[in-house]
Structure formats: C-alpha cells, structure tokens
Amino acid sequence: MNVGILTGGGDCPGLNAVIRAVVKRGHQFGYEFTGIKEGWRGLLQSNTIKLSKQTVSGLLPMGGTILGTSRTNPLKDPKDAETLFKNIEALKLDAIIAIGGDDTLGVAAKLHAKGIKVVGVPKTIDNDLFGTDFTFGFDTAVSIVTWALDRLHSTTEAHQRVMVVEVMGRHAGWIAVYGGIAGGADVILIPEKPFDVDEVCAVIKKRKEEGKNFSLVVAAEGAYPKEAGGMITKDKSLDSFGHAKLGGIGEFLATEIEKRTSLESRFVVLGHLQRGGTPTAYDRILATRYGIGAIELVHAGNFGRMVALQGNRIVDISLAEATAKLKTVDAEMYRIAHIFFG
C-alpha cells in the first residue's frame, strides 16, 4: 500500500507530529509513504518525496511542515482537476491522508465523492472545524496569546494605556476567547458578535472610573464593528478558496478608542507568531493521536472520514459532515468570557 500525505492551508504547530505518527504506525503495517509537497499543489505538479521511518525521526517538536503547504484549490479549474486525477494514478497512490482545515478537507470530501480513497486530519489554529472538539495547533496558539497578554499587561498598566491585541480567527473567535480568558482580557471581540465601538469605549471608561487606569482589548482579526458592516481587510485580493486577507481591526480600534475616550491607545498584531514554532505538549499528543487514528482508518479501509476528538476519545466522522459548516464559538464559553468584561 502506497499512502500519500499532504498538508494544506495555513501551517500549524503539530503538522510534523502527525506526519511522524502516520509514518511510524504505517511502517508497522508494511506501508510505503509518498509525501506530497505544498498541499494539493504538489499533486498538480507531481512534486513528491518518499517518507520513511528514518525521515520522520525527530519531527515531533518541529513547527511548520516538512512537506510545505499552500492554499491551492485543485478543483477550481476543471483542467487542474483532470491533472490531479491523472497524477494520483501515475503516482500509484492507493490512499491519501490530507491534513488541513475546512478548505483542504473540503477538497478531500469532494475527491472521496469521486472515488478517491481519502482520510482527513483536522488542522487549524482557528479551531473552527466542525465535528471535533479541538484541532491541533489551537492550544499552541492560545498559549502564545496568553504569553503575549501577560507581557502586555505590565507595560499597558505602567503607561496607563489601552492596548488592543489583534489575534487570528477569521470566522470564529476561539483563539480570542480562550486566549482572552487565560490572559485576563477586559474586552474580547469575536467575528460571531459584531460589536458597537461606543459600548467597548463605555467598558473602558467605566474601568477607569473604578480605578483601573489601563485596559486590554483582545480582538479576533475577523471581528468587526456593526458600523463597518463587515470584516476589515488588507486589500481586495482573494485566495483560491475565495478568502480575503484580513487585518486592520487592531489599528482601527486603537484609533477609535483613543479618539472617543481620549485615553492613549496602542495596538499589537500577533499575526503569524501564533502559528510558528514548536507545538505544546497537548498539541503534540493530539497530533500523534490523530496521525495514528488516520492511518488506522486507512488500514481498516474506512475512507471519506476525518479523525476527530470528542470528549477525550478519538472518533471518526464523515468528511462531508465535517466540512459542511464551521464550528463557531460556543455560547457558554463566550458567556464565561463576558463575565470578566470591564
């Protein structure tokens, strides 16, 4: 059995740990592995490398992905789709393990519907894949946000400022909510709840009246004020899955807060710091469990499935179900975050 592995979409701490687990467990079944470079693009270009037990040794703590990644949608152009099917045959891939978020796994679901033997592994620091409690990479991102908020607290308090911290989270504010709770944010803004800038300013002014001379606001990059009517984007360009490049909510808010409250404000964009570097112990373990779950699905001939964490058990759900909708922030979690606003 020759199993192809690819990593697609934004990179995420733990990708290499999944690859390692897949190959090490698959080696016990006597399988061969073809690493597909740069996500679905590698299949369009037949850009592959052989993976063995030896090549994946030492990958557990490594950030990034040894396979590289891209946001290529191979089904956008029918000619590409044709090339993809031809190359899967030419490369003699008996099965493919796709490690990715809703875009990468959305492609996997469509390929499965056309007869390709695919298994998915849920990856995204945004934690917005449906059907799994957690995606690997999320815990690392939350730890980095918490680390940043701890440091920003002391400088913000020393200068009696307002600090707006822009974190990742395109359509779902999981990182903002978890990071904000762990780092003691005074306001948390998420894409699921368009906000009113004056209400945010009122919380900050009330804090000041109550003797707190500083405030920390955490905003997911996809959060937006009702008055703007939509997310703040860097430019008009879209990627091959139709996503805009987000960014700017931190600067927008810091400017508005300073204007409306006369309190000195600054902003910090944590950006790709949240995705880089070594995974936390939690993410290494989750990634390892996912990798083993995925190759065992292949071994069982159980295709069109995605491994998922439900409670503390690794289960599998259909790729079609997992990619049909996004998992947005849980109302109970947001209620807890909200208790600490102000």
Q: Return the amino acid letter for 233.
A: T
* Structural contact between residues 118 and 96, judged by C-beta atoms closer than 8 angstroms: yes
Residue 126 found at the interface with ligand F6P (CB under 6 A)? yes
Residue 41 found at the interface with ligand F6P (CB under 6 A)? no
Written as six digits, the tokens of 146 are 């918490």
CB atoms within 10 A of CB 152: 22
Only one of the segments 33-41, 168-176, 300-308, 324-332 lies at the binding site for ligand F6P (rule: CB under 6 A); that segment is: 168-176
Of the listed 126, 139, 186, 316, which one is catalytic?
126
The C-alpha atoms of residue 121 and residue 137 are separated, in whole angstroms, by: 12
Burial 285-313 (b: 16+ CB within 10 A, else e): ebbbbbbbbbbbbbbeeebbbbbbbeeee
128 vs 186, beta carbon nearer ligand F6P: 128
Element (DSSP H or E) covering residue 245: strand 244-246
Residue 216 found at the interface with ligand F6P (CB under 6 A)? no
Helix 331-339 and helix 174-182: axis angle, to 10°?
A: 40
Q: Is 150 a catalytic residue?
A: no
Residue 168 found at the interface with ligand F6P (CB under 6 A)? yes
Restricted to residues 267-306, the positions that interact with ligand F6P (CB under 6 A) are: 275
Residue 145 found at the interface with ligand F6P (CB under 6 A)? no
88 vs 306, beta carbon nearer ligand F6P: 306
Residue 323 found at the interface with ligand F6P (CB under 6 A)? no
| 232 phi/psi in degrees, rounded to 5 | -90, 125
Q: Residue with the closest Cβ to ligand F6P?
A: 10
Only one of the segments 45-53, 83-91, 124-132, 304-312 lies at the binding site for ligand F6P (rule: CB under 6 A); that segment is: 124-132
Tokens 């956008």 -> residue: 76
162 vs 287, beta carbon nearer ligand F6P: 287
- Closest CB 101 distance from ligand F6P, rounded Å: 6
Q: How far is CA 88 from CA 3, 32, 97, in A?
A: 11, 15, 13
Residue 169 found at the interface with ligand F6P (CB under 6 A)? yes
List of residues contacting ligand F6P (CB under 6 A): 9-10, 101, 124-126, 168-170, 221, 246, 275
